[in-house]
Amino acid sequence: MTSPAKAEGSGPSVALEPELESKPTPAKEEKKLEGRSPGQLMWQRFKRDRTGVICAVVVIFYFVVALGAPLLTKLSGTDPYTLYGQDPTYQDTPVLDDFGLPLGYFGGLSGTHWFGVEPQYGRDIFAMLVYGMRTSLFMALGVTVLMMVTGIILGLIGGYFGGRTDYWIGRVTDFFLAFPQQLFFIAFMPVVTAFFVDPREETPTYFRALAMLIVLWVLGWMGMARLVRSTVLSLREREFVEAAKVSGASPWRIVRKEILPNVVTPILVQFTYTLPSTILTIAFLSFAGVGFVEPTPDWGRLFANGSKYAEQDPSFIFFPGVALVIFVLAFNLLGDSVRDAFDPKSGR
Amino acid sequence: MKSFSSRRAQAIVVAIAAGSLALTGCSENKGTNTGKDSKKDQKEASVQSKAVTYADAAGSTGPAKDVAGAQSGGTITVYQEAGLSHLDPGQTYVSDAGQVANLLFRRLTQFQEDDKGNVSVAGDLATDSGKMSDGGKTWTFTLKDGIKDAKGNVITSADVRHTVERQFAKFIFDGPPYLQTWLAGDKYAKDYRKLLPGGGFDGKHLPKSVLDTPDDKTVIFHFDQARPDLPQTLAMAGYAIVPTKDDTKEKYDKAPVATGPYKIQSYKNGKSLVLVKNTNWDPKTDSVRHQYVDGFNFQFGVTESTQTKRLIADQGDDKNAIQLTGGVEATQIQDVIKNPSVNARVTKGYQPYVMQLTFNLDRVKDLKVRQAITYAVNSKSLIAGEGGVYGGDVAPNYFAPTLPGYEAKYDPYGRLATPQGNIAKAKELLKSIPASEKKVVFAYANSENGQKRKVAIEDALTKVGFNVVSKEVDAASYYEQIGKLDNPYDMYISGWGQDWPSPGTVVTPVYDGSQVSDGSPNYSHVKDPKVDALIKKALSEQPTEAAKTWKEAQHYLMEKVLPAAPLWYTKQFQLSGSNVGGARYGSVSSLIDINHLFLKKS
């Protein structure tokens, strides 16, 4: 979908001066004041993109909320583990009817339960949501970053060096691609648990998180590697790379200074797609019983549970759902904007 | 800026979707009073727990009493989520196949229910419910005249003998084990198959001292001890007649020959099953079954959620539809209750299962710990996970409301008064317990439901000071894992239901010390000499005295042994189409009474 960053007429503009004008990015079409680094240019363009800025604020807000979950629940005075509908301590303030559905307006919205309560158990949706965001966002972020870094490194090596290196990296990529990720996980998790965890001890949550992180990482970097490899492959033959080679630059320098800046765009776009889909994968895993288990709050599971009550208690899915939709939308739009800012020619 | 306008459009779509969601959820839920309804259920169930009576020859002759307003014709659609695992009667132990077997196969005896829910055992192929002699060690059955299978062959005592003998064959492994083990007696107690390894197929038959067929019409069973429950055992679908000439061994599981009012026209495993009238079935010989509709059309693979939605909508063919063993999906129960016209089409009652938190007595040895847990567990939150008031009721003891000898008021741990757990009492019991014993390992099936139960158990026990370690167990092999004798867990949730209305089918398999083995339902590994003695005593007694002995056994178990904390009774809540007549709850199957149905307009 993304073409190599630069279209035409973009040879290495000048000799390879260290910082300022070194990048082959289209610096010339900008104002002719004195030199700005591509980073500065990008920042300038980005600031002008209203959607981009709003989305950035939204995305940052989500991460802040996720980070500040314990503070926020302190404010609301609820926590994600108490069964407000079933706990005898809260018997005087019933939140559920006999069918286990929330009493009152809009899924039991009230001063104590800001987003209402969950059917059946009556847990506080606000607390579950902010804590769930915490689990899901940071897990997804960790997995995605690991996947990206691995994919970029292997893609760069394969694409730049070509030949036998490329062949073997390509075969390894194929090999990993052949693994059905989710099936593998379902088969793999109980074995690992049985191996590392005493049968009379509870499987610790960090253990589950680590296992998920590793497996999703090991089985998830291939797409990125292939994308980067193909981009690098075409860049390698370009004049500015040739020129750098001729002028005696080391491969490390060429990769770092000439090629990497040009693959930033596809990387960013890929990143903005992968992160939300990783959230959903993690949600699926906890559904298949190999990810996080109840009562560890999980955004994806909250959403999936909500969908079951879509007819009887639509408000249950409302807050987690709207939060998820806004997040995914904002994240994708942010990615688009950042790409536009880096490379104003693409996507128009 | 093209891209911007499309983004704005996206935003509008999102806003509209969100707004419509908000509108639907914006009416106040003031809660509905369902307390009365559930009390009524309990009263109805007391009928179910009445002792079974044995019908005489007059009560066993057909034709069956007509259902009020019944007429002939039409085809009933039957929905079921999973396919049937077996059709061979010898392999039939599970309720879905059991329901189908009620239409297809006849047995020596059968259960007969009247409109008030009173259950009696009548003769099916036999002229009456059996003649007992020798203090219950010998039972004699005489066959009715003019009974044929779907191919027109007359059924004789040789066919009955064959039906019993094939139970010993290797390919019959999933059916009920009662009759075989009783016939094998103490001599072959370890492996009943040794009594007749060939299963009657190699020309060798059971000795006359065990099963005698003096003429074409008489069958005599001899046991080494009294078996007063035999007529009820023989009424199980697992002991339905397989005629000698028709038996195709393993293949019979796919294409059995009918003896009942309907026969199989076509069967696609896991997809569909079409039943049509069996013309060789003579209504004059059957005191229970009817043949009102022309046939049944079973559709498998329809999820409970879809079944419920179709039956609530009640359109087209769904007017003629019923659910086989599935019920109304838990989340949709309130949609049914709140709509009077839909609610009128409900068949409901108790299921025979008591769900309990079973303790592994090899590990949790301290009675005080078990008592504290029993006081602490929150039955209400567990029931909430099953669909609320209509999904289950708080269980104060081990006997389900469907069981004769059920005592609604017997509640030694105050479960009814404090269904959410008696925290103070539990804490008090725990005072003298060392911390090491407060660590309990709870195993749960790693499914959605299992995880919900985990939350409820963890929550309740942590509150009184237990250190709960929850271990997930693969859901598909859950019962297999907790059935292992040396399992590493302290407690697990398990359920058991009666096979026929006698506490003998509950206490014996679940609490008999001699039955402790890998895979046996005695998940708590109770080995108590007093319980074993009481079981032995009750099994040889007549129903009225036996009832007292069973009561004594239960009270002793509850108060002195406490192998499990009773949690909840499961309930049945089924829906049928508006054109289906005669729908009623069958006390024996705990499901809709499938022999009682007709179509109002065909």
pLDDT 10s digits, A228-277: 999 898 888 888 888 988 998 888 888 888 888 888 878 888 888 888 88
Q: Is B475 on the interface with A (CB under 8 A)?
A: yes
User: Measured between alpha carbons, how far is B519 from B521 in angstroms, rounded to an integer?
Assistant: 6
Q: Is the dihedral of CA B194, B199, B202, B206 positive or negative?
A: positive
CA distances from B133 to A108, B53, B221, B456 (A): 66, 18, 10, 52
The DSSP element (H or E) to which B142 belongs, if any, is: strand B138-142
CA gap B385, B331 in Å, rounded: 10
Chain B residues with CB under 8 Å of A87 CB are 420, 459
- pLDDT in the model for residue B369: 92
Interface test with B, best of A89, A110, A120 (most B CBs within 10 A): A120
Say yes or no: B381 contacts chain A, CB-CB below 8 A.
Answer: yes
- The reply to whether B82 touches chain A by the CB within 8 Å rule is no
Residues B20-53 have pLDDT tens digits of 444 444 456 665 544 445 555 555 555 556 677 8
- Looking at the structure of chain A, the number of domains it has is 1
Buried b / exposed e over B508-523, threshold 16 CB at 10 Å, is: bbbbbbebbeeeebbb
Does the pLDDT at position A36 exceed 80?
Answer: no
Give me the half-sphere count of Cα atoms (radius 13 Å) on the Cβ side of residue A54.
10
CA-nearest of B337, B571, B384 to A118 is B384
Q: Is residue A1 part of a domain?
A: no
Instruction: State residue A35's pLDDT score.
Output: 72
- Please report, for chain A, how many H helices and E strands are present, in that order: 13, 0
DSSP per-residue string spanning A68-133:
THHHHHHHHT--TT--TTT-GGGTTS--B-TTSPBPBSTTT--SS-TT-B-TTT--BHHHHHHHHH
Of A85, A102, A326, nearest to B29 by CB-CB distance is A102
What are the φ/ψ torsions at residue B123 (nearest 5 degrees)?
-75, 140
Residue A240 structure tokens: 């500015």
- DSSP labels, B258-327: P-SSEEEEEEETTTEEEEEE-TT--GGG-SS----SSEEEEEES--HHHHHHHHHHT-GGGGGEEESS--
Chain B: closest CA distance from residue A296 (Å)? 10
- Are B451 and A293 an interchain contact pair (Cβ–Cβ within 8 Å)? yes
Q: Which residues of A touch B30 (CB under 8 A)?
A: 103
- The whole-angstrom separation of Cα A42 and Cα A277 is 27
Check CB contact under 8 Å for A83 and B35.
Answer: no
Assess contact for B357 and B495: CB atoms under 8 A: no
Task: Indicate the burial class of B353 (C-beta count within 10 angstroms; 0-12, 13-18, 19 or more).
Answer: buried
Model pLDDT, residue B45:
57
Dmax over Cα atoms in chain B, in whole Å? 98
Residue in B14, B31, B458 nearest the CB of A103? B31
Q: How many CB atoms lie within 10 A of CB B441?
A: 23
| Contact state of B455 with A312 under an 8 Å Cβ cutoff | no
**A182: burial class by Cβ within 10 Å (0-12, 13-18, 19+)?**
middle
The residue count for chain B: 602
pLDDT score of B41: 57
Pick A88's closest partner by Cβ from B10, B423, B488: B423
Tokens of A338: 């950042």
What is the distance between the alpha carbons of residues A260 and B379, in angstroms, rounded to a whole number? 61
Q: List CB contacts (< 8 A) between A119 and chain B.
A: 331
Distance, CA of A50 to CA of B12 (rounded, Å): 17
Cα gap A273→A276, rounded to integer Å? 6
Tokens 């035999």 appear where?
A: B230
Residue B552 CB coordination number (10 Å): 15
CB contacts under 8 A, B 449-468 vs A, are 451-452, 454-456, 458-459
**Does B471 contact chain A (CB < 8 Å)?**
yes
Distances (CA, A) of B166 to B197, B206, B252: 10, 11, 12
- Whether cis (ω within 30° of 0) applies to the bond prior to A295 is yes
Q: β-strand B272-277 against B392-394: which pairing, if any?
A: unpaired
pLDDT < 70: residue spans in chain B: 1-50, 602
Tell me, yes or no, if B488 comes closer than 8 A to chain A by beta carbon. Answer: yes
Residue B67 or residue A182, greater confidence: B67
A14 confidence band (pLDDT: 50, 70, 90)? very low
Going by their DSSP bridges, the two strands B321-323 and B75-80 should be labelled as parallel
For residue A294, list chain B residues with Cβ-Cβ distance below 8 A. 451-452, 454-455
Residue B113 has a pLDDT of 87
Token digits of residue A280: 């959903």
| Section A279-294 average pLDDT | 76
**Local structure of B68: helix, strand or coil:** coil
Residue listed under structure tokens 């980073």: A39
- Pairwise CA distance, residues A286 & A268, whole Å: 28
| Residue A61 belongs to some domain of the structure | yes
What percent of chain A is modeled with pLDDT above 90?
Answer: 16
Gap between the Cα atoms of B29 and B338, Å rounded:
12
Q: How far is CA B518 from the centre of its chain?
A: 22
Q: How far apart are CA B60 and CA B143, in angstroms?
A: 11
Contacts of residue A334, Cβ cutoff 8 Å, sequence gap at least 6? A52, A55, A56, A59, A272
Q: How far is CA A107 from CA A117, A120, A312, B361, in A?
A: 6, 12, 10, 43
In a domain, A124, yes or no: yes
SS (H, E, C) A146-206: HHHHHHHHHHHHHHHHCHHHHHHHHHHHHHHHCCCHHHHHHHHHHHHHHHHCCCCCCCCHH
Q: What is the predicted pLDDT for the residue at A11?
A: 40
Residue type for position A324: L
CB contact under 8 A, A85 and B384: yes
Residue A16 lies in a domain: no
Domain boundaries, chain B: 352-571
What is the ipTM, given to two decimal places?
0.71
Task: List the single residue in A with minimal CA-CA distance to B335.
Answer: A312
β-partners of residue B442 are: B470, B491
The pLDDT score that the predictor gives to residue B490 is: 92
What number of CA atoms fall less than 13 Å from residue B289's CA on the CB side? 28
Instruction: Give the separation between CA B194 and CA B474, rounded to whole angstroms.
Output: 34
Inter-chain touch A201–B472, beta carbons under 8 Å: no
Contact at CB, B451 and A289, closer than 8 angstroms: yes
Q: Inter-chain contact B25–A322, Cβ cutoff 8 Å?
A: no
In the numeric block, which tokens belong to residue A114?
């800001």
The confidence score (pLDDT) of residue B590 equals: 85
Type of residue numbered B114: D
Mean pLDDT of A291-298: 82
Cα of first residue to Cα of last residue in chain A, in angstroms, is: 13
Q: Output the pLDDT for position A20.
A: 45
- What's the pLDDT at B42? 56
Which residue of chain B comes nearest to A324, CA vs CA?
Answer: B14
In this predicted model, which residue has the larger pLDDT, A286 or A96?
Answer: A96
> Residue B577: which residues within 8 A CB-CB, separation 6 or more?
B77, B311, B314, B318, B319, B320, B321, B322, B345
Torsion of CA B298, B303, B309, B312, to 10 degrees: 40
Helix axes A299-308, A314-342, angle to 10 degrees: 130
Say if A39 falls within a structural domain. no
The pLDDT tens digits for A313-342 are 888 888 888 988 898 889 888 888 888 887
Chain B residues within an 8 Å CB radius of A101: 29, 334
Which residues make Cβ contacts (< 8 Å) with residue B3, sequence separation at least 6? A336, A347
SS3 B21: helix
Distance CA B17, CA B11 (A): 10
Could you tell me the residue range of the domain that residue A151 belongs to?
Answer: 48-342
Q: How far apart are CA A218 and CA A50, in angstroms?
A: 37
Q: What is the assigned CATH class of domain B352-571?
A: alpha beta
B22–A91: do the CB atoms touch at under 8 Å? no
Tens-digit pLDDT profile for residues B421-463: 888 899 999 888 888 888 999 999 887 788 888 989 998 999 8
Contact B471 A86 (CB under 8 A): no
Instruction: Say if A18 falls within a structural domain.
Output: no
Report in angstroms the alpha-carbon separations of A331 from A192, A254, A268, B15. Answer: 34, 31, 11, 18
Q: Find, in chain A, the residue whose alpha carbon is nearest to that of B330.
A: A99
Residue A12 lies in a domain: no
CATH code for position A186: 1.10.3720.10
The pLDDT value given to residue B5: 45
- Burial of B432 by CB count in 10 Å (0-12 exposed, 13-18 middle, 19+ buried)? exposed
Structural contact between residues B107 and B236, judged by C-beta atoms closer than 8 angstroms: yes
Measured CA to CA, the distance from residue A315 to residue A311 in angstroms comes to 9
Contact of A63 with A113, CB cutoff 8 Å: no
Contact by Cβ (8 Å): A182, A219: no
Distance of CA B544 to the CA centre of its chain: 24
Is B378 in Cβ contact with A88 (below 8 Å)? yes
Contact state of B420 with A96 under an 8 Å Cβ cutoff: no
The interface residues of chain B toward chain A in range 303-342, judged by CB-CB distance below 8 A, are 331-335, 337
- Taking the CA of residue B529 and the nearest CA in chain A, the distance in Å comes to 30
DSSP secondary structure string, B200-227?
TTTS----TTTEE--STTEEEEE-SS--
Taking contacts as CB-CB distances below 8 angstroms, the residues of chain B near A190 are 474
Nearest Cβ partner of A97 from B14, B32, B446?
A: B32
CB B426 within 8 A of CB B464: yes
What was the pLDDT predicted at A30? 52
In this predicted structure, what is the pLDDT of residue B318? 92
Cis peptide bond upstream of A180, omega within 30: no
